[in-house]
Amino acid sequence: MEAIAPLLVAGALMVIAASWVAPRIRVPAPLLLVVVGIGCSFIPGLAPAEIDPEWILVLVLPPVLYAAAVNVPTTDFRRDLRSITGLSVALVIISAIVVGLLLTWLLPGLPLAAAIALGAVVAPPDAVAATAIGKRLGLPARIVMVLEGEGLVNDATALVLLRSAIAALTGGFTLLDAAGDFAFSVVCALVIGTIVGYCSVWVRARMDQPTLTTAISFTVPFLAFLPAEALHASGVLAVVVAGLITSFGSPRHLTAQDRISERMNWRTIQLILENGVFLVMGYQMAHIIDDADDEGLGVGAAVTIGLIVTLVLLLIRVLFTAPLMLSLHVDQFAAARRITRLDHALDRLEHTNPTGGTPSMRSARQSERLRRRRAEWQIRAQGGFGWRGGAVIAWSGMRGVVTIAAAQSLPVDTPFRAQLVLIAFTVALTTLLLYGGTLPLLIRTLKITGPDQPAQIREVQALIDEIVTAGAQRLRSDDIRKADGRPFDALLVDEMITARAAVAAEFWELRVAEPSASIGQRAALFDEMLRAEQAALADARDSGRYSSTALALAQLVLDTEQARTVQGPMG
């Protein structure tokens, strides 16, 4: 441990430094970390990294996927489920089989099962670099959502395929067995992930200490992963399901402080773990090249095959994405027709109540259900990808954590194992260089723009108005009483409602009515004011004239103001 601890600290510092530098030099952080890792591998005296791939698959992958899942908007995920399923299941299976057949031709003597195993290793893209680039350059949220969803689910497909292929290497494992194993793995993972997700939200909602709820959240990915793996199901899929359920349930059941802490903590964990794997990947390259060179096939041949596999994977992704985007484009026209039918249904429902009186409970529920479906189809009708969005999705095929770890989990007696590992690393490194280095240029060349910001502001304003109205209605309702059963003072209720509405109105007037230059000046002035207040608070702390309790509460006020400014929807 005395030798490992300094390396862990140094690695964490490198990840932090690269993540800070990368946006400033417009290079994806994973790509920069791979280069840094390769450079570190040539430092004299440093031993080659011997890391058990199970550590990455068991200790790193579950929290990384959970961290991504809890920050995914579940409504958007469900809306694009067909696209996500196609890319993360069908495309992974097709890619694994095609690459497997290609490898049996390029490497005579390689068993088909071993070839498909490597195909499963290199099939799933990692969306971390693509989504980071997309968010920074203002890609439409739906494209980012599809890439994030694909990155969440495709790992499960790949690892189940890998496990089936490794089992086939030992013999006695048929295609029917593989299909049954895949179905059992998915269903069992869905059940376990659902149970763990709902139970964790239920338990955390009944705790009033943020530190405890945060501690529980740290155990959730392993509570989902380990039982699923023990039952030979997909632990990765169970983790994703648990994370999505947590994301869905947290707005209703967790406190604001719990949600803020969870987002910050899991984003930090994801940053360190996922980017740390890319650093290790670069550091291992020299050792992997030596192993491949010692086993006779030659490094050049393995790298060449890796480049061919990369090209084939790109062609498969392009050929798969084109009809998928076409089907989504067709769906836009179908959505317009569906909206028309829903409008007619709503009109008929309103005509059943011509007097305009209070509708029946059944009629109200039916109307609400139709309005929700109409809103869903309205978003689909407006949110097409187009060929530009399809091009970005097709070009977002960076490989990452799973490819790196799964390649090294191949059995030691697998024919051409060292060469297969080098092929996988070549694919991962080449896709990072090729896609990561050129994706920003592609987005700029295609002139893809994000959502209309004024329209987005108006949408959020309408939502805030609806929320504030609901709060006012609650305060004016007859059933709201104090603890002793008496009604609240009417003047106080009116004062509270007026103050709340004024705060909301002022907040949005600053963003809608003011020119952007004024908004920038106001933000700069507010920042200067907070800096001066923070300095005054520091002087007061040094003076010793105030109690620690008063100082802590004053610091909380300043921190809340700063957080509200930084996390505002548009600025």
Q: Are 253 and 205 in contact (CB under 8 A)?
A: yes
Rounded to the nearest angstrom, the gap between the alpha carbon of residue 339 and the centroid of all alpha carbons in its chain is 31
Tokens representing residue 172 in the block: 């006695």
CATH of domain 4-326+385-449: 1.20.1530.20
Lowest mean pLDDT among 185-189, 223-227, 455-459, 482-486: 455-459
Residue 568: predicted pLDDT: 45
| C-alpha to C-alpha distance for 309 and 16, rounded to whole angstroms | 32
| C-alpha to C-alpha distance for 210 and 559, rounded to whole angstroms | 17
pLDDT at 520 over 60: no
Task: Band the pLDDT of 47: cuts 50, 70, 90.
Answer: low
| C-alpha to C-alpha distance for 162 and 253, rounded to whole angstroms | 38
**Of the candidates 84, 86, 133, 81, which has an alpha carbon nearest to the alpha carbon of residue 319?**
86
**How confident is the prediction for the chain on average, in pLDDT?**
79
Q: Are 36 and 280 in contact (CB under 8 A)?
A: no
| C-alpha to C-alpha distance for 43 and 133, rounded to whole angstroms | 31
| C-alpha to C-alpha distance for 325 and 390, rounded to whole angstroms | 6
Who wins on pLDDT, 112 or 368?
Answer: 112
Residue 311: predicted pLDDT: 95
Who wins on pLDDT, 463 or 398?
Answer: 398
- Tokens 């409008």 found at: 343
- Tokens 């790949």 found at: 158
| 204-261: pLDDT as tens digits | 888 877 788 888 989 999 999 999 999 988 898 999 999 999 988 887 787 777 777 7
- The DSSP code sequence of 368-385 is HHHHHHHHHHHHHHH---
**Of the candidates 120, 124, 126, which has an alpha carbon nearest to the alpha carbon of residue 29?**
126
Q: E strands, 467-515, where? A: none
| C-alpha to C-alpha distance for 334 and 338, rounded to whole angstroms | 6
Residue 357: predicted pLDDT: 52
| C-alpha to C-alpha distance for 6 and 14, rounded to whole angstroms | 12
| C-alpha to C-alpha distance for 3 and 111, rounded to whole angstroms | 40
Three-class SS of residue 385? coil
Three-class SS of residue 48? coil
Three-class SS of residue 97? helix
pLDDT at 571 over 90: no
Task: Band the pLDDT of 381: cuts 50, 70, 90.
Answer: low
* Mean local confidence (pLDDT), 159-181: 77
**Phi and psi at residue 413, to the nearest 5°:** -95, 10
Q: Which range, 109-113, 288-292, 453-457, is most confident?
A: 109-113
Three-class SS of residue 384? coil
Amino acid at 459: E
Q: Give Rg (Cα) of the chain.
A: 27
Enumerate long-range contacts of 441-449, CB under 8 Å, 24 or more apart: 442/391, 442/392, 442/395, 443/133, 443/134, 443/137, 443/139, 443/392, 444/137, 446/388, 446/391, 446/392, 447/388, 448/139, 448/140, 448/143, 448/388, 448/389, 448/392, 449/138, 449/140
| C-alpha to C-alpha distance for 110 and 103, rounded to whole angstroms | 8
pLDDT at 145 over 90: no
- Tokens 């530009």 found at: 388
Q: Please enumerate in sequence order all residues whose Cβ is within 8 A of that of 23, keeping only pairs 6 or more positions apart, or say none.
A: 29, 136
* Mean local confidence (pLDDT), 195-209: 89
CATH 1.20.1530.20 domain position(s) in the chain: 4-326+385-449
Q: Please enumerate in sequence order all residues whose Cβ is within 8 A of that of 222, keeping only pairs 6 or more positions apart, or say none.
A: 62
- Angle between helical axes of 417-446 and 112-122 (0-180°, round to 10): 30
* Mean local confidence (pLDDT), 271-286: 81
Buried b (16+ CB within 10 A) or exposed e, 469-487: eeebeeeeeeeeeeeeeee
CB count, 10 Å around CB of 209?
9
What is the pTM for the complete model shown? Answer: 0.80
- What's the sign of the alpha-carbon dihedral 394, 68, 186, 56? positive
* Mean local confidence (pLDDT), 280-307: 78
